[in-house]
Structures are given as structure tokens and as C-alpha cells.
A and B are shown apart, each in its own frame.
Chain A
């Protein structure tokens, strides 16, 4: 599979849940420290082509596809806003929504995969906010973390449960029906940058930290991690469970590698991809095509490749 070069530094990459040949990429100028951002929607084929791109005034740190409409994308912008784009409209008519409530950088968004009506945003203002596409203001604000919230993910089975990962060294489990978090997981000694739920066991969660490790937890017994996956040489930036194999996950790190793990087996590391030449910050696994991976990094390159092949192979 070929490569796509973006003008800015990659920040996040997501496969469309509706079309196997579509990928959205969030990018930011100057490593996201200062400057513009751009959302790319890419078409996969013999070559990767750009279907459309949207510019933003500040960096784009993350994005997610709507689970209910195939043309909607929610982007998390560094200026603290969330912007909703409709691919079926021309770029001049976009964004169709700009939701600006977070006081600081938005670093993560996730669309509800069960009820499909709402999405969450994680921000450096220490809060998580719950939104629906049809409301101009957030439905709820979850403020408990003591430092930046980097990532938030809905539970794949329970429509009201989600997890958040924060720089306060905890991951928290929440139920939107409850006033506060239902569980605090002091998962690492260092900042936690990412978390994800197992797609096959609704009690299993993985956390990725600046301490270079990924830990897998059973939320029913959070004193001991199920597994500790060591191997990354720098902070682990993102972790993502496979939609096809319960114990498999992908991760990417500031050590510039993308790795695949199976936490159930003794030698958990089952794949290592060294194709990026700068920090690898975004990784995703296709729901529609088993084994198809995508990654992006600060080398401004987006790769899409089937597991087991060389991402750089033409």
C-alpha cells in the first residue's frame, strides 16, 4: 500500500466505520505547538488520494467518524473547539458545527458506538464533555481529573460507560447515568496518554503511559494488571484493541515504532513496524478489513498496510 504525505505533522488517523477505503487524518503544523491544522479524508486504492481536506486555524489533535452518518467527522482542535464536518458538503460550507466550550486544547474525541447518538471530548482543561450532534452546547461535563485528559473511549458494549486517560496518572471509568466516576484506576506512575476497551470483553481495558509501558486491566480487579507490555523505548502515545482478535492490540510511540501485541501469550510482542522517521502518534485498525492497519506520525506521512507486510513496500 502506498503512502500519503501531508503538509503538516500527523496527529491521528481513523478508518471510516462505513467504507473500507476511507481514512481520515488529523494534522497540525509545527508539531502541534503553533500554527494551523488540517483534516484530510483519504481514499484508499492503488494509490492513496485525497478526497477532501478542511483547514483549521489551530492544530487538529484528534478526530473520529460518526457512527450514525457516513459523512460526518468530529475533529478535536487545539484551540479547545470541536468541529463537525460533513463530507457531502463543499469545504466552504464546512464546518457545520463549531462547539467551543473547552477552555484549553481538545486532545481526544470518541463517538458512541452503541447508541450512536453522542460523542465525548477530552481536553487539557482537565474535563471530559459529552455532546450530541444536534445540540449547540455540551450535555454534560465530567470534571474530576486533576490534570490534562488525553483520551476518552466509550465502552463497546455498554452505551453509557466510558473510560478516560489523564496526566494525573489515573484512568477513570465513568457511567453517564452517574454523577461522578465509578472507578479510579491508578494505572501508572506516570502520565497516561491513551486507553482503549477490549472489543470482546467489556471489562478489559488497556492503558498506555509515558512510562513506556502498556498495561491491561480487568476493571473487576484493578489491583493487579492482567499484563504489562514493555518494549517501547519512549512514551506510548496511543493504544488500540483489535476489532477482530480479543487479545490483540496496536500501539504507537515516541520511539517512532508501531507495535502489535497479544497480551494473552507469553511473548506479547507480535509485530514491530519501524517505518516512521519521527514520532508515531496515530494508529488505527480497520473494522471492515481484518488486519488492515493505518498509522501517522510527525514525519508527515500516513501509511496504510495489511499486517505482516512492509508498510513502505510500494
Chain B
């Protein structure tokens, strides 16, 4: 057992009571006994600890003062035995692990140079206690030397590294995680082999506890893969096998390797050469085939190539990148080494091999015939089992699990599938199809979200199509506050007369008041196309873009508003600068406000501008000025309320929204905003009622649905989340009447 295991109290020596049987621990206890006891006492009475501030360090507030703690306790009490665990943990915390720390600290200097040893040790110093810096860096340096002298590097010196299992796990896990940050541009496959190369040159199995990457964007694929694995060849234990297999795969940290393999296969080109390459290699190595290793070598070369191509001298000199790449090159020498049996019979290898050879097309036939002799399904299974048996010592748990299963049944099943080709059909192809589908969906989703920003989406069923004068009808409905109806009528109008700027404008306003800014912008853009100088349209576009937090676009329209205004057009320079700066535009409008202090519109624009720059106090002032000039403008009241809410004056905001709603009871946006203000004040139940009210008037207000969901979860009304997700207004209205 390595020193590090002992001092760290790794799993094998973690039984606290057994410390006396641990010679090192006993020694340390003897040596350290007195001092560790003193410190123990310090810990027990931490308030006695002198501090600079002299205050009471701990426990000034009772725990109950910390919000959220009750949630954790609720969880604990519900889980059987967790209290015990917690108790154990706290005991362990105060007692044993501290004691271990105690023991451990004096050991640190032994490989740290704290006692004055220089950090860079001479090369010959290999009598190592731990896995220290100097060995790793020596390893690195000898790599560098071997590359300069064109001598083949033999990693024979590596065993003296004496890496403990814990160390290996550290290297394995941390390099796996870090490599994904460093090589984010590269494929998952590349990263995997990069790490594998490094690990195998350090003689580390990339096995059970390694931590594979589970990026969010792949999880669906893996789920589907698991589903597609759900073929059930037999009644007994086979499910167990499948889960065991996938679990083992996952545990090996390379579920993605398989995925990548697929991607590569469907990505075609790269695969062909890869296949050729591994074919050549695998003929030699068919028995102990190590395609991942070969691939890793290939990838190391690719990395070396990449590094050579990066002209940044800093990167050429980066010790870390050298560290990684040189380590990887150790792979070249590992051919002389014995293959670790674990590397031979990785379940993943089998999948790879099968995939690669299967997709090989013509050559596959011959290959398969050869394989039949060596690795026919039965043979393979037996071999696999046999190898597993050999492995009992290291992986006995898995092996015994595996040997319990009826391997032959599985092999037969496999054979049958191969024979009638269903294997590929049911599993591989459908998986691939699903993957393609998924990709297409993603693309479609992107396109959709792109399109929805510029394109107006008409409603499907519109009773107003064919109406003799839908514009008049729409205006009337809008005046009455029947916004959703007005939208339909106005849509009918613009379908009839696509060049009707007023129709588009009113449609945009109706959408904005209905709390649907995407559609509002789309409609306003059409109005703008038809009549590029319409001031109301320009102002509305500026406001809508401000709501969507799109500063550049908002500035553009607000500036145009000024340019085309008969009174202020002269203020703005005639040629619109390419890039508008917020400060410039704000100055222009301030000039305009001085020019005509009684024009409410200028103050409105100023208010919007200040919202853009988040100067809410000034924005509120501007809107209040505008309201003095035009107190009947309900949308102004709403703007004032929104600004007050943004500047954390939610109570005031509610008053402003109330004004707006008094003037226009069907103002969906104000209802929704009211909900936001209540939510901001922590009154989630209240906010839910307002959101539901707004949604009852316009179920298409997507934002409001999202807000509703947040409020429901904040109010711990998770029971209603389903109604929210299925947009079941009936249930919601019943539950939350206003």
C-alpha cells in the first residue's frame, strides 16, 4: 500500500478503529499524540480561538436563522437511517478525519520540499515515497529528451512511480474532466483517446471509476440508446446483463465513445481511413486486439500535429500542453509492454470491433469468416468469459456477476440476430435514424427560432377572413379591449391588404398589449416596411426591442423616430451613423426634450432609453413627466409600472399597473406585469392569480406561462405544475380565481 493511501486513509485503511494496526498511523499517533490532542480541544471550543476581530467566531446566530435549513432536515427525516449517517458523519468529521489530517500533515514535507529541498530533483532520484512532482516532471523531461535524441522512449521507469490506486483515480478523473476544457474544439473521440493515451502510458486502467462526460446535449441520445438496448433475448437474468453491460460501459467512462463511433461511422469519410488503419493493425493483434490503443496513437500524432501547427510561441512553450502531449506519446512504446488483459476484453472494444467490421461492407464478409474461427460468437463469449475469469482478482465483483449469467444464451441470441440481420435493423439503424431525427429537430428548432424573430405567424383558423371591412372591425375590437379577437380581425385585414401600414401597426400594438413581443415585432417590421417613416411604428419597435433587451435594434428605431419627426428631425444628423452609441442617442433626445418640453412622446422615448441603460430613476421621472402631459395613456402607466418594478419598487409598480387596468381592463400585459410585481415581492400566490388572469385572456403569451411556472414552484404549488405544462387554463382558473 502506498504511503499516500495510508496517510490519506483511503478505502482500504479507512476503518478508523483499526488505526493501531496501521503501523504508520500508530507511529504517527505516538509521535503526534500530544499535539493532536491540543488541537482537538481547540476544535471543540472554537470560540476560544483568538481572532483579530476578537468577536465571537461561531454560533452568533442560531441555525434556525438560516433559511432553507429546514428543507434539508425534512429530507433527512424522511430518509431512513440518514440521521445515523449524519451522526456518523459528524463524528467522523470531528474526530477521525481530523485525526487523519493530523497524521497527514507532518507527512507532507516528505514529498514537497518544505524542508528546504529544491523542487526540481535530480533525475536519478527515484526512491520515491509518493507520486511527487519531481517524478512526473522527470518523466516529462525524459520524454522531451527522447524526442530530441530520436531515441524511442521506453516507459520502463514508470513502475517506480508507485502510483496508488487513489492517485491513479485522481489522474484519470481529473485529466478526463480537464481535457474536455482544453480540447473543447475537438471531438469527444479525440479527447477520449487523448486521455486514454496519457493514462495507458502511466499504466492506469481507464476503468470502473473513471468519470466519463455526460454533457447535457448527449443525454437524449444515451437514453435512446439504452432504450434500443431493451431487446429482451431471454427471460432470465438477461435484463440484468443488459443493465450490467451498459452500467459497466458507463462506469468505464466511455459511453460516449460508442456514440462517437457511431457519429464517425455516419460521418463517413474519416471513418474509412480509420478503418483501414485499424484493419491493418488488428490483423496482427486480432487476439489481443486493441483498437482504442491504435486509435489513441493516431490521435496522439494528431495532437502533435495540432500543436506543431499552432504558431503561438506561448502554446509551443506551454508546459501543460507538453505534459499532455508527451505523455500521450508514451503510447508508442507501450507496444513493447505487455497489454493489460483488461484492455483486451473491454466490453466497449467488442462493440467497436463489431461496428467497425460490420460497416466495412465488402471486406467485412472475409473478415467475418476469419473471425468465425477465432471469435465466432460462441468462441467470443467463451473467451470473454475466460478472460473475465482471469480478471477476478482485479474486477471480481463484475466477473462473478457476469459468470452468473448464462453467457451462451446471450451468444445464441446474438448469433440469431446477426444471422437474420435484425441486430442492425432493430438496434443500430433505428438508433442512427433517431439520431438523425434528433439532429434534424435541432436544426429545425434553430431555424424556427430564427424565423420567428422576423416572420409574422398567422393564426390557423380566422373567422374574420372574408369580412367586408376587417380593419374597421379590428379597430373596434381593439377599442373594446378584445385584444385576441382584434388580432384575428387585423390579421384578416393585412392578409387582404398586405400594404396596409395601419393594419400592421395596430396588429403589432395589439400583440404588444397582449404580451407577445415576438409577434409584435414581426407585425411592426411589416408596418415599417410599408411605411418606413411612421413615427408610431418606429416608437413601438423601439419599445418592443427594449423589452426583448436588444439594445442595438432598439437604438436604431428610436433614432429613426427622431430623424423622421417633423419637429426634431433637424436635431439628428442626416446620415445615420453605422453604429449607434447609447450615449449619443440619449443626448439627442435630451436636446429634443429641451426643445419641446410639453411633448409627451419625447419623454416616453427618453423613458425607454433610460430603461435600456438601466437608469431606472431617470426613466421613472421621464414617464411621470409624460403622464402629467397625457394621463389617459394606459400604456404609459404600464411603462411606468414596469420601470418601477425593474428598479425594485414593486409596490409602486402595482399602483401604476392598477391605473393602466382602470383605463383598459383587458390589458393583458398589465395583468402579467402585475403578477411579476407580486412575485418580486415574494407574494407568489398573488402573482399566480394575475398570471392566470392574463393567460385566460391570451393563452399565447409564452412569457407569462414561464413566469407562472416559476411562481408555482416558488409557491411550492408543484401539484399545479402539470396543469401549467399542459396549459390547462380551466384547472388553473378554478384553482386560482382572482
**Partner-B contacts on A (CB < 8 A):** 7, 29-36, 55-58, 68-72, 78-79, 86-89, 92-93, 95-101, 104-105, 115, 117-118, 124, 130, 132-141, 146-148, 160, 167-170, 175-180, 182-183, 186, 189-191, 193, 201-202, 210-212, 218, 220-221, 224, 226, 234-235, 237, 246, 254, 256, 264-266, 277-279, 298
Contact A136 B93 (CB under 8 A): yes
Give the residues in chain B near A88, CB-CB below 8 Å. Answer: 49-52
Give the residues in chain B near A104, CB-CB below 8 Å. Answer: 173, 211
Beyond the given pairs A33-B170, A178-B716, 10 more chain A to chain B contacts, judged by CB atoms under 8 angstroms and listed by A's residue number, are A32-B178, A89-B49, A124-B211, A134-B60, A136-B93, A140-B68, A169-B216, A178-B71, A179-B716, A182-B713
Give the residues in chain A near B53, CB-CB below 8 Å. Answer: 69-71
Distance in angstroms from A144 CB to nearest chain B CB is 12
User: A54: nearest residue on chain B (CB-CB)?
Assistant: B105
Contact B72 A133 (CB under 8 A): no
User: B453: nearest residue on chain A (CB-CB)?
Assistant: A224
Taking the complex as formed, is B19 at the interface, i.e. its CB lies under 8 A from any CB of chain A?
Answer: no
> Given A98-B93, A100-B93, A141-B72 in contact, is the A33-B710 Cβ separation under 8 Å?
no
Contact A139 B68 (CB under 8 A): yes
Contact of A101 among B69, B89, B549 (CB under 8 A): B89
User: A183: nearest residue on chain B (CB-CB)?
Assistant: B710
Contact B66 A139 (CB under 8 A): yes
Distance in angstroms from A147 CB to nearest chain B CB is 5
Contact A190 B184 (CB under 8 A): yes
Give the residues in chain A near B323, CB-CB below 8 Å. Answer: 31
Contact B63 A70 (CB under 8 A): no
Taking the complex as formed, is B18 at the interface, i.e. its CB lies under 8 A from any CB of chain A?
Answer: no
Contact A136 B90 (CB under 8 A): yes
Taking the complex as formed, is B215 at the interface, i.e. its CB lies under 8 A from any CB of chain A?
Answer: yes
Contact of B181 among A86, A99, A235 (CB under 8 A): A235
Taking the complex as formed, is B133 at the interface, i.e. its CB lies under 8 A from any CB of chain A?
Answer: yes
Taking the complex as formed, is B734 at the interface, i.e. its CB lies under 8 A from any CB of chain A?
Answer: no
Stretch at the interface among B109-117, B278-286, B387-395, B596-604: B109-117
Give the residues in chain B near A202, CB-CB below 8 Å. Answer: 648
Interface of A is mostly: loop
Taking the complex as formed, is B84 at the interface, i.e. its CB lies under 8 A from any CB of chain A?
Answer: no
> Given A117-B61, A139-B72, A140-B69 in contact, is the A264-B217 Cβ separation under 8 Å?
no
In the docked arrangement, what's the CA distance between A174 and B57, Å?
A: 27
Taking the complex as formed, is B237 at the interface, i.e. its CB lies under 8 A from any CB of chain A?
Answer: no
Give the residues in chain A near B132, CB-CB below 8 Å. Answer: 29, 35
Sample of 27 A–B contacts (CB below 8 Å): A7-B119, A31-B178, A34-B131, A34-B171, A55-B108, A78-B170, A88-B49, A96-B43, A97-B46, A99-B93, A117-B60, A136-B93, A138-B72, A139-B63, A146-B219, A147-B213, A148-B177, A170-B216, A178-B716, A226-B551, A235-B182, A246-B614, A254-B181, A266-B579, A277-B318, A278-B318, A279-B320
Give the residues in chain B near A201, CB-CB below 8 Å. Answer: 614
What 1/0 flags go to B55-83 for Cβ under 8 Å of A? 10111110101111101100000000000
Contact A160 B314 (CB under 8 A): no
In the docked arrangement, what's the CA distance between A305 and B178, Å?
A: 29
User: A9: nearest residue on chain B (CB-CB)?
Assistant: B320
In the docked arrangement, what's the CA distance between A175 and B716, Å?
A: 13
Taking the complex as formed, is B638 at the interface, i.e. its CB lies under 8 A from any CB of chain A?
Answer: no
Contact A136 B94 (CB under 8 A): yes
User: B43: nearest residue on chain A (CB-CB)?
Assistant: A96
Contact of B314 among A99, A134, A256 (CB under 8 A): A256
Contact A137 B93 (CB under 8 A): yes
User: A101: nearest residue on chain B (CB-CB)?
Assistant: B89
Residues of B in contact (CB 8 Å), total 89
What 1/0 flags go to B298-326 for Cβ under 8 Å of A? 00000000000000001001111001000
Contact A71 B51 (CB under 8 A): yes
> Given A57-B104, A57-B108, A177-B67 in contact, is the A235-B713 Cβ separation under 8 Å?
no
In the docked arrangement, what's the CA distance between A139 and B90, Å?
A: 12
In the docked arrangement, what's the CA distance between A221 and B108, Å?
A: 50
What 1/0 flags go to B229-265 for Cβ under 8 Å of A? 0000000000000000000000000000000000000
The 3 tightest CB contacts between A and B, nearest first, are: A134-B58, A176-B68, A140-B72
Taking the complex as formed, is B214 at the interface, i.e. its CB lies under 8 A from any CB of chain A?
Answer: yes
> Given A101-B89, A235-B182 in contact, is the A32-B174 Cβ separation under 8 Å?
yes
Distance in angstroms from B649 CB to nearest chain A CB is 14
What 1/0 flags go to B533-556 for Cβ under 8 Å of A? 000000000000001111100000
Give the residues in chain A near B131, CB-CB below 8 Å. Answer: 34-35
Contact A147 B215 (CB under 8 A): yes
Taking the complex as formed, is B613 at the interface, i.e. its CB lies under 8 A from any CB of chain A?
Answer: yes
Contact of A139 among B69, B104, B174, B549 (CB under 8 A): B69
Contact B119 A86 (CB under 8 A): no
Taking the complex as formed, is B101 at the interface, i.e. its CB lies under 8 A from any CB of chain A?
Answer: yes
Give the residues in chain A near B42, CB-CB below 8 Å. Answer: 93, 96
In the docked arrangement, what's the CA distance between A58 and B8, Å?
A: 10
Contact of B320 among A31, A118, A134 (CB under 8 A): A31
Give the residues in chain B near A175, CB-CB below 8 Å. Answer: 68, 714
In the docked arrangement, what's the CA distance between A183 and B679, Å?
A: 14
Q: Chain B CB within 10 Å — which of A34, A167, A175, A220 has the most?
A: A34
Give the residues in chain A near B547, CB-CB below 8 Å. Answer: 221
Give the residues in chain B near A191, CB-CB below 8 Å. Answer: 180-181, 184, 215
Contact B97 A132 (CB under 8 A): no
Give the residues in chain B near A87, CB-CB below 8 Å. Answer: 52
Contact B214 A298 (CB under 8 A): no
Contact A264 B582 (CB under 8 A): yes
Contact A55 B112 (CB under 8 A): yes
In the docked arrangement, what's the CA distance between A101 and B69, Å?
A: 16
Contact B181 A210 (CB under 8 A): yes
Contact of B68 among A96, A148, A160, A220 (CB under 8 A): A160
Contact A34 B167 (CB under 8 A): yes
User: A134: nearest residue on chain B (CB-CB)?
Assistant: B58
User: A117: nearest residue on chain B (CB-CB)?
Assistant: B61
> Given A34-B136, A160-B68 in contact, is the A133-B58 Cβ separation under 8 Å?
yes
Contact A193 B181 (CB under 8 A): yes
Contact of A176 among B67, B94, B111 (CB under 8 A): B67
Taking the complex as formed, is B86 at the interface, i.e. its CB lies under 8 A from any CB of chain A?
Answer: yes
In the docked arrangement, what's the CA distance between A254 and B333, Å?
A: 30
Contact A134 B57 (CB under 8 A): yes
Taking the complex as formed, is B438 at the interface, i.e. its CB lies under 8 A from any CB of chain A?
Answer: no
> Given A34-B167, A136-B93, A221-B548 in contact, is the A177-B68 Cβ separation under 8 Å?
yes
Chain B residues 653 to 691 lying within 8 A of chain A, measured CB to CB, are 676
Taking the complex as formed, is B514 at the interface, i.e. its CB lies under 8 A from any CB of chain A?
Answer: no
In the docked arrangement, what's the CA distance between A234 and B317, Å?
A: 16
In the docked arrangement, what's the CA distance between A86 and B579, Å?
A: 53
Contact A98 B98 (CB under 8 A): yes
What 1/0 flags go to B220-232 for Cβ under 8 Å of A? 0000000000000
Contact of B182 among A34, A56, A160, A254 (CB under 8 A): A254
Contact of A33 among B63, B171, B318 (CB under 8 A): B171
In the docked arrangement, what's the CA distance between A309 and B28, Å?
A: 51
Give the residues in chain A near B50, CB-CB below 8 Å. Answer: 88-89
Contact B49 A96 (CB under 8 A): yes
In the docked arrangement, what's the CA distance between A221 and B676, Å?
A: 12
Q: Chain A CB within 10 Å — which of B72, B94, B119 has the most?
A: B72
User: A298: nearest residue on chain B (CB-CB)?
Assistant: B320
Contact of A69 among B57, B105, B319, B614 (CB under 8 A): B57
